[in-house]
């Protein structure tokens, strides 16, 4: 594996072997060979250099030899023809959208995404439909929520809009591109690095991203172009260009049927992981009364959270640089009311992303006693309800819960065995009626009832009747099986 970082024309790379060896090379220096006792030790040491480089303005990216490149034909079409096909768009004053989004995401968009967003930013589209891609101005005209904190605006938007995706966009570090005709949505999300954004398909019925519909925006635009062409032209050759670069939704079934090609593409980015990691936070803040506090465990994926610890995350640059990571830890530490939140708030206050800084400022207000957050009348009371679910993923609490579970299981087993011992003792001294009464009082303990039943079968005056009951029971069981 290798770690590759760039800053303008400068680059730095660390290449690891399996034994703990590392070779460090730069754009202007001789190679440096380092040896460590293990690959883990090598990663720890090199990570310190990476943090230092990040502080100097370097960016982590994919080595040029490993980059996932666009199809040249589709890419050329996108840059030379696509924007001319958006004929309804009229020139307008810039909204400053691109700079704001790059600041919020702490990224620099690749040329294909930047070109679309700049065009989107400087044009009025009205209600432009490009096949199954709705690019409507109305989607950008957000209501005035009456608050200045922009992360609070996202929360209020989703509280008022049941199908809203404002918070999910932040948690996934996603850029809204438009919708399908039925209300499903499309988002650009980072794949392997800043030069590589893939497109996610959002299903409004399940309120979640389903899959990556295309490897990049040019592929997505081209699929819609083919949908416009399918009734007039043979598109099989053109579909071949995106055969391994798209995973189309049902909206595009006609071009799959006409061409006989069903494209396949597996997502490469982390956006869907980010979504599932933060979905429980989303529902707590939405407060929509459809998913209530008691239902939060259904959205809290313990395997994800138990693998993430505060001690480990502090070792990586993501807690200081990556908005999706910062949002998650800000809200995780808030909802679990952890003392480490104070340190996270300091990191957020100095975050590169202004939206992260707003999120931290909002949480600081809540920690300092503010109760109301939109439809949430008392967020501290809501937090207490959440804490009562006992979902804390910190290793110490996980181990404690496991110990409590084992202790409870042992206690239950001991109580069960004690109850059986009591029943065996009864069979030696109690009358028949007392045994029957004992069976009724133990009807939920099948094993105890069977002990009493088997003992009663030894009473000669009722043994024949008991055997008839056994026969009828077994016959009924065999009949049901047949």
What confidence tens digit (pLDDT) does each residue in 328-365 have?
Answer: 999 999 999 999 999 999 999 999 999 999 999 999 99
Ordered alpha helix ranges (H), 184-336: 217-229, 236-241, 253-259, 271-286, 302-306, 310-313, 318-321, 323-335
pLDDT at position 65 over 80: no
- Window from 86-95, 138-147, 310-319 with minimum mean pLDDT: 138-147
pLDDT at 268 over 70: yes
Tokens coding 359? 């999120």
Sort residue 128 into left (φ over 0), alpha (ψ -120 to 50) or beta. Answer: beta
> Looking only at Cα atoms, what is the longest distance across the chain?
102
Q: What is the pLDDT of residue 480?
A: 66
**Integer Cα distance of 200 and 202 in angstroms:** 6
Interhelix angle 217-229/111-121, rounded to 10 degrees, is: 70
DSSP category for residue 34: E
pLDDT at 51 over 80: yes
Q: Count the alpha carbons within 13 Å of 195 in the hemisphere toward its beta carbon.
A: 13
Q: Are strands 185-190 and 197-203 parallel, antiparallel or unpaired?
A: antiparallel
Give the mean pLDDT of 162-175.
95
Mean pLDDT of 103-130: 94
CA dihedral 254, 258, 259, 260 (to 10 degrees): 90
Buried b (16+ CB within 10 A) or exposed e, 308-323: eebeeeeeebebbbbb
Tokens 């929360």 correspond to what residue? 155
Token pair for 285: 């803040």
State pTM to two decimals: 0.80
Q: Is residue 67 predicted with pLDDT exceeding 80?
A: no
pLDDT of residue 340: 97
Q: What string of DSSP letters covers 66-90? A: G--PPPHHHHHHHHHTGGGG-TT-E
Structure token digits, residue 466: 């008991």
- Flag the least confident range among 112-121, 252-261, 309-318, 439-448: 439-448
| Residues 409, 445: Cα–Cα separation, whole Å | 16
In the chain, % of residues over pLDDT 90: 62
* Tens of pLDDT, residues 271-281: 999 999 999 99
Position 166 pLDDT exceeds 80: yes
- Rounded to whole angstroms, what are the CA distances from 127 to 121, 144, 181, 412? 15, 22, 11, 65
What is the pLDDT of the chain when averaged over all its residues? 91
| Listed residue (266, 216, 253, 270) closest to 77, CA to CA | 216
> In which residue are the tokens 């004690």 written?
418
**What tokens does 147 get?**
């608050």
- Helix, strand, coil percent content, the chain, rounded in steps of 5: 55, 15, 30
Instruction: Choose between 195 and 148: higher pLDDT.
Output: 148
Condensed to tens digits (0 to 9), the pLDDT of residues 387-435 reads 999 999 998 888 888 888 888 889 888 888 888 888 888 888 888 888 8
């Amino acid at each position: 594996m290798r770690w590759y970082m760039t800053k303008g024309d400068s680059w730095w790379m660390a290449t690891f072997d399996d034994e703990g060896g590392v070779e460090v090379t730069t754009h202007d220096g001789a190679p440096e060979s380092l040896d460590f006792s293990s690959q883990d030790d090598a990663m720890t040491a090199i990570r310190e250099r990476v943090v230092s480089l990040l502080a100097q303005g370097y960016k982590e990216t994919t080595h040029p030899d490993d980059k996932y490149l666009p199809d040249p034909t589709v890419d050329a079409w996108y840059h030379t023809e696509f924007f001319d096909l958006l004929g309804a768009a009229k020139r307008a004053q810039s909204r400053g959208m691109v700079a704001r989004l790059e600041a919020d995401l702490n990224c620099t968009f690749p040329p294909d995404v930047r070109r679309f967003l700049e065009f989107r930013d400087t044009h009025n589209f009205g209600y432009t439909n490009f096949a199954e891609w709705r690019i409507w101005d109305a989607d950008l005209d957000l209501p005035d929520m009456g608050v200045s904190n922009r992360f609070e605006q996202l929360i209020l938007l989703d509280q008022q809009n049941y199908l809203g995706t404002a918070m999910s966009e932040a948690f996934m570090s996603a850029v809204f591109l438009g919708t399908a005709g039925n209300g499903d949505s499309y988002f650009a999300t980072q794949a392997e690095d800043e030069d590589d954004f893939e497109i996610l398909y959002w299903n409004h019925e399940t309120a979640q991203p389903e899959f990556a519909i295309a490897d990049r925006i040019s592929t997505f635009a081209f699929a819609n172009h083919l949908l416009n062409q399918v009734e007039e032209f043979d598109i099989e050759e053109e579909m071949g260009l995106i055969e391994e670069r798209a995973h189309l939704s049902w909206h595009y079934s006609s071009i799959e049927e006409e061409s006989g090609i069903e494209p396949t593409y597996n997502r490469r980015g982390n956006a869907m992981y980010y979504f599932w990691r933060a979905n429980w936070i989303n529902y707590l803040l939405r407060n929509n009364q459809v998913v209530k506090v008691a239902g939060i465990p259904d959205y809290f994926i313990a395997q994800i959270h138990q693998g993430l610890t505060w001690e480990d995350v502090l070792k990586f640059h993501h807690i200081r640089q990556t908005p999706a990571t910062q949002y998650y830890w800000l809200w995780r530490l808030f909802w679990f009311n952890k003392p480490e939140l104070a340190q996270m708030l300091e990191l957020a206050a100095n975050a590169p992303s202004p939206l992260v800084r707003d999120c931290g400022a909002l949480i600081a207000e809540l920690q300092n006693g503010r109760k109301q957050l939109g439809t949430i009348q008392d967020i501290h009371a809501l937090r207490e309800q959440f804490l009562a679910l006992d979902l804390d993923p910190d290793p110490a609490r996980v181990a404690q819960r496991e110990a409590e579970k084992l202790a409870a299981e042992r206690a239950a087993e001991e109580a069960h065995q004690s109850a059986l011992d009591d029943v065996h003792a009864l069979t030696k001294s109690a009358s028949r009626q007392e045994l029957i009464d004992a069976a009724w009082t133990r009807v939920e303990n099948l094993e105890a009832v069977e002990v009493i039943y088997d003992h009663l079968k030894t009473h000669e005056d009722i043994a024949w009747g008991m055997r008839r009951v056994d026969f009828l029971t077994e016959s009924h069981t065999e009949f049901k099986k047949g």
